[in-house]
Amino acid sequence: MKVLFSAYACEPGQGSEPGVGWNVVREVSKYCQIWVLTSNCHRQGIETELARNPLPNLHFIYLDPFGWVLDWSSQRKGKQRGVYFHYYLWQIWAYFVGRSFYKHIDFDLVHHVTYVRYSSPSFVSLLPIPFLWGPVGGGESAPKSFWKNFSYGGKAYEVLRNLARWIGEFDPLVRLTAQRSALAWATTEDTAKRLYHIGAKNVKIYSQLGLSKDEITNLADYAIPDNYPIRFISVGRLLHWKGFHLGLAAFAQANLVDAEYWIIGEGSERKQLEILTEDLDLTERVKFWGNLSREQTWNKIGDCHILVHPSLHESGGFVCLEAMAAGRPVICLDLGGPSVQVTEETGFKIPAHTPEQAVRDIAKAMTHLSSDSELRVRMGQAGHQRVREAFSWESRGRELAKLYEEISTQDQLCVKLVRKL
């Protein structure tokens, strides 16, 4: 099969959106001929990797609107000024470039992979071939009862985020994208509801995240420490919606003797989290490690027993997969992407009705896991098995290739039927 991909973000060796784009197209290229529309900012990373490890079925088409190339390194640092405007224009360019290639290459279908954003259109959906959309996310919201603990800046962020999403849903081109999709994947139940609302007819919940077999194997080498103190760990940007303030409050409420809580990451909320740590009299038992490399983060997870990930709205939650692959039980809120990844066998999914209730239930989960080593091991083993079976990039590549065949066959049958009529 010949498949055209729209992957605005796509680069080997990266996490987040570029990692999703790269891993999907790489794995599918083992079964199909692949052409990938992507931005020039990823060109060096892609060509360096292909020079080391050629993939003959994988072809890249680099483009940017008006020659305007964003610096992806600044995006990794959270400096996203102009990125969504650039992305919108890039989508328009991608359609015209894709259409010109379609005249010479008989693509069987087109698949939009990144950005993983349901409220922005994908103009390649206008090509006269079956269109697959996603997985896309962004339909998740922090429960209103939790807003009272946000700073003014945090509240403003949530209002603007909801407004941008609302505007996106009224964009006729977003609705056209949804309506033209032969299949739309949603990262969460919340996003699935929004996709149906804007006109998608065939929606399935499917996480955008995965790990390679090598990564899963390497993470399995981090055995759970059998010594004390019990260590909890949280990883991510220190932002209001990541909910680390809930984790700290729960840790204080659990009042576990000699336990420690490690936090990895940087962000605008760090100072407030440090003040909260002092107010809760946790200074001696909480350690802020700042930003660390992926390998350093894995080593820190290896020194800990339990991941705490109290994010209030997140379509992904990559660290949950990494912790599960490393055999660590996960405590998360029953919201967004983490709720899709974590099961009752692999951790605790805490209902998020109010901050007080969430803190209380997180504290109970902390106490339970800290006192039951057999439960930690059992949940850790179940988590590793779940990642291996449901979240390996290799298995996802096979699943997508099979799905492409089914959709292409259905489309050909429909065309034959129309011609007969």
Helices 318-325 and 294-302 pack at an angle, to 10 degrees, of 50
Distance CA 21, CA 323 (A): 22
Residues 179 and 87 grouped into a single domain: yes
**∠ CA(128), CA(91), CA(173), 5° rounding?**
65
Asked if residue 135 has a cis previous peptide bond (ω within 30° of 0), the answer is yes
Residues 58 and 196 grouped into a single domain: yes
The domain in which residue 159 lies consists of 2-210+392-420
Q: What is the mean pLDDT of residues 42-46?
A: 95
Q: What is the mean pLDDT of residues 389-410?
A: 91
- DSSP characters over 196-234: HHTT-SSEEE--S--B-HHHHHHHHTSPPP-SSSPEEEE
Range scoring the smallest mean pLDDT among 71-85, 176-190, 333-347 = 71-85
Structure tokens at 370: 């800290």
Alpha helices for 255-372 (secondary structure H): 270-279, 294-302, 318-325, 336-341, 355-371
Residue 10 contacts residue 46 (beta carbons within 8 Å): yes
Residues 242 and 298 grouped into a single domain: yes
Residues 311 and 383 grouped into a single domain: yes
pLDDT of residue 137: 93
Residues 271 and 367 grouped into a single domain: yes
Please enumerate in sequence order all residues whose Cβ is within 8 A of that of 346, keeping only pairs 6 or more positions apart, or say none: 324, 329, 330, 379, 382, 383, 386
Residues 222 and 161 grouped into a single domain: no
pLDDT of residue 307: 97
- The pTM of the full predicted model, rounded to 2 decimals, is 0.90
pLDDT of residue 224: 87
Residue with the bigger pLDDT between 15 and 66: it is 66
pLDDT band at 71 (very low <50, low <70, confident <90, very high): confident
Q: Give the strand pairing for 347-350 and 231-235.
A: unpaired
Residues 398 and 381 grouped into a single domain: no
Residues 155 and 17 grouped into a single domain: yes
pLDDT of residue 76: 53
Residues 148 and 103 grouped into a single domain: yes
Q: List the one residue out of 324, 358, 401, 350 whose CA is nearest residue 30.
A: 401
pLDDT band at 86 (very low <50, low <70, confident <90, very high): very high
H or E element: which one contains 184?
Answer: strand 181-186
pLDDT above 70 for 75: no
pLDDT above 60 for 174: yes
Taking CA atoms, 237 is separated from 13, 53, 118, 312, in Å, by 19, 32, 22, 13
pLDDT band at 310 (very low <50, low <70, confident <90, very high): very high
Considering the chain, what percentage of its residues have pLDDT values greater than 90? 86
Taking CA atoms, 415 is separated from 2, 347, 350, in Å, by 18, 48, 48
Residues 117 and 138 grouped into a single domain: yes
Distance CA 409, CA 170 (A): 33
pLDDT of residue 13: 84
Residues 294 and 219 grouped into a single domain: yes
| pLDDT tens sequence across 250-300 | 999 998 988 999 999 999 999 999 999 999 999 999 999 999 998 999 999
Q: What is the mean pLDDT of residues 380-394?
A: 94
Residues 95 and 234 grouped into a single domain: no
pLDDT above 80 for 420: no
State the CATH number of the domain containing residue 123.
3.40.50.2000
pLDDT above 90 for 82: no
pLDDT above 90 for 84: no
| pLDDT tens sequence across 122-168 | 999 999 999 999 899 999 999 999 999 999 999 999 999 999 999 99
Total structural domains within the chain: 2
Please enumerate in sequence order all residues whose Cβ is within 8 A of that of 390, keeping only pairs 6 or more positions apart, or say none: none
- DSSP characters over 227-285: SSSPEEEEES---GGG-HHHHHHHHHHHT-TT-EEEEE---TTHHHHHHHHHHTT-TTT
